[in-house]
Structure 1
Amino acid sequence: MTEKIKRELPDLKGEYELSKEQIAAYQEDGHICLRAVASEEEIASYRDAIHQSVQRHAEKLAPLEERDTYGKAFIQVMNVWEHSEDVKKFVMAERFAKIAADLLGADGVRIYHDQALYKEPGGGHTPWHQDQTYWPVDTSKTITMWMPLVDVTDQMGSMSFASGSHKQGYISKLGISDESHRTLGEYIDQNGYKQVTYGAMKAGDATFHYGWTLHSAPGNPSDSTREVMTVIYIADGTKVAEIDNEARANDLKQWMPGLVTGDVVNSPLNPLVYHKTKKADEK
């Protein structure tokens, strides 16, 4: 009987250097695209594990044409790291976390949660929205890494951002919907925010954006799935905000179990993944 050999995954520890200009541009615009954050070989090593988790979830979904606008936008699987040791290595990667901390100007960052977002062939647009509308965290230092696991063509669509919109903080209570797309689209036009799209991206490229940055994405008219993995980070030392709506109550229960308003965010689901001086939590 032949013993199955477990594949050794890359450690993703090598540092990705950012310039002062890149950090300043990110903090001014609220978004940035960084090329080759992970190599083609590194992405190929992790893609199968992420893909398997998404496929298990996708089997339970209704057909695309029967879903609402949110459901048509993408297949969404959250906290994949809890269910796969391989995906956990990707989500907890020191390289990605240090980029997030450097862009935020934070000493360290913790995981808020991860999401695999797969936009199927024929998948609908992702309406304009702010991520942090849902998050009960008392800080503006939140950041999402959005990394394609496959090459994304112009046709398949990468995200669009409203530059500078993060500076307004909380803009609207609207969740991701047709109404948010219309209302926030009008807000962007009325306030003259420049819309930026980074176009085609290679597997391993990544965009980063603040939790308050308005963003959207087009539908996917191609015959290939747009496979993306995201990781959301918050600055170390962040406290739980006031729970003022049902969405934030649900997020608190799901992503920061056992914590209440005023607590420092440090539940078992929010490990410290990078810090200049502290030791990161065991992975």
Structure 2
Amino acid sequence: MSNETNAQALPTIESEYELTAQQLADYEENGHILLRGVASPQEIDAFEPVISGCVQTLNRQNKPLEERDTYGKAFIQIGNLWQHSEEEARFTLAKRFAKIAADLMGVDGVRLYHDQALYKEPGGGHTPWHQDQIYWPLDTDKTITLWMPLVPIPEEVGSMVFASKSQREGYISKLVISDESHRTLAQYIDGKGFDKVSYGAMAAGDATFHSGWTLHSAPGNPTPDMRKVMTIIYIADGLRIAEPDTNARRSDLLSWFPGLNPGDLAASELNPLLYKRTK
């Protein structure tokens, strides 16, 4: 059976997930939200093996945990899975997820920036405080990340931890994910008095969404089980690429906007339009 035939046999994930006015307001206020049951148990059962198979095939991390730096201990990180598997692409390109992203940001359309599997190994370390968007050559507040566990996440592992309302500060620091970012941004968060929110245990198919500017971190994994999480990053349709001001942003421009330059529409072949609201 071909990959295309396998993909056709998978769920389509096109049905809508309706958000309440209160949920939209909460996201606008805090820069993050937990939504239960964004994917059904049946959909997770279908896609978890596909995504985990991609991670296993594409993973090049072979150092023992104790020999890695803080970033390397945080998770196995694999990007653009959708480019490697027609089956996985049905998950990353799902209309249901994209519409939620558009609704939360209050925009008419969204494009894919990229996807990432983030698998935190048994004994894996914490993820330091950071802002995602310091890596992205975009000058906007219209970016958002879906973070969905593919397995049940117990209380001791939990969701990420978010600094509520920190997205209002915009570009806070150029520090990439590191011990230094964790120390410096933790002090910043405490100094600003931002509430730190964890949603605790999550079921497979639950999802958090957070703004590209929202400060967040994640605890380590003290359990014997892999924390399997899939993320999808969305950007508003119609954005233009900003002049990259750091090496991290220059690298992302090459990786995720191939062939494009500052000032161009953020719409390469790697950034398909996933949802457009009908007028």
TM-score range, shorter chain: over 0.9
Structure 1 unpaired stretches of 5+: 279-283
In the other structure, the counterpart of 1:226 is 227
Does residue 113 (structure 1) correspond to residue 114 (structure 2)? The answer is yes
Distance 1:178 1:97, change over 3 A: same
Distance 1:10 1:180, change over 3 A: same
Structure 1 residue runs of 4+, over 3 Å off?
A: 2-7, 57-60
CA distance in 1, matches of 2:10, 2:170: 39
SS in 1 for 2:174: coil
In the other structure, the counterpart of 2:216 is 215
CA distance in 1, matches of 2:19, 2:239: 24
In the other structure, the counterpart of 1:195 is 196
Does residue 42 (structure 1) correspond to residue 19 (structure 2)? The answer is no
CA distance in 2, matches of 1:204, 1:198: 14
In the other structure, the counterpart of 1:79 is 80
In the other structure, the counterpart of 1:246 is 247
In the other structure, the counterpart of 1:161 is 162
Check conservation: 2:70, 2:178, Cα contact below 8 A.
yes
CA distance in 1, matches of 2:127, 2:100: 25
Q: How does 1:248-267 map to 2 (within 5 A)?
A: 248-267=249-268
Distance 1:246 1:3, change over 3 A: closer
CA distance in 2, matches of 1:194, 1:205: 22
TM-score scaled by length of structure 2: 0.96
Structure 2 unpaired stretches of 5+: none
Q: How many residues align?
A: 277
Could you give the per-residue CA deviations for residues 98-157 of structure 1, whole angstroms, max 9, x where no partner exists?
A: 000000000000000000000000000000000000000121100000000000001123
Distance 1:91 1:6, change over 3 A: closer
Task: Provide the alpha-carbon RMSD of the alignment.
Answer: 1.6
Does residue 29 (structure 1) correspond to residue 30 (structure 2)? The answer is yes
CA distance in 1, matches of 2:244, 2:70: 26
Check conservation: 1:133, 1:172, Cα contact below 8 A.
yes
Q: How does 1:98-177 map to 2 (within 5 A)?
A: 98-177=99-178
CA distance in 2, matches of 1:129, 1:213: 8
In the other structure, the counterpart of 1:183 is 184
Check conservation: 1:116, 1:229, Cα contact below 8 A.
yes
SS in 1 for 2:229: strand
Could you give the per-residue CA deviations for residues 240-261 of structure 1, whole angstroms, max 9, x where no partner exists?
A: 0111111111100100011111
CA distance in 1, matches of 2:30, 2:59: 35
CA distance in 1, matches of 2:120, 2:64: 13
CA distance in 2, matches of 1:221, 1:93: 32
Could you give the per-residue CA deviations for residues 11-50 of structure 1, whole angstroms, max 9, x where no partner exists?
A: 0001000011100110110000000000011011011111
Check conservation: 2:30, 2:164, Cα contact below 8 A.
yes
Offset, 1:158 = 1.5
Could you give the per-residue CA deviations for residues 196-224 of structure 1, whole angstroms, max 9, x where no partner exists?
A: 00000000000000000000000000000
CA distance in 1, matches of 2:247, 2:206: 35
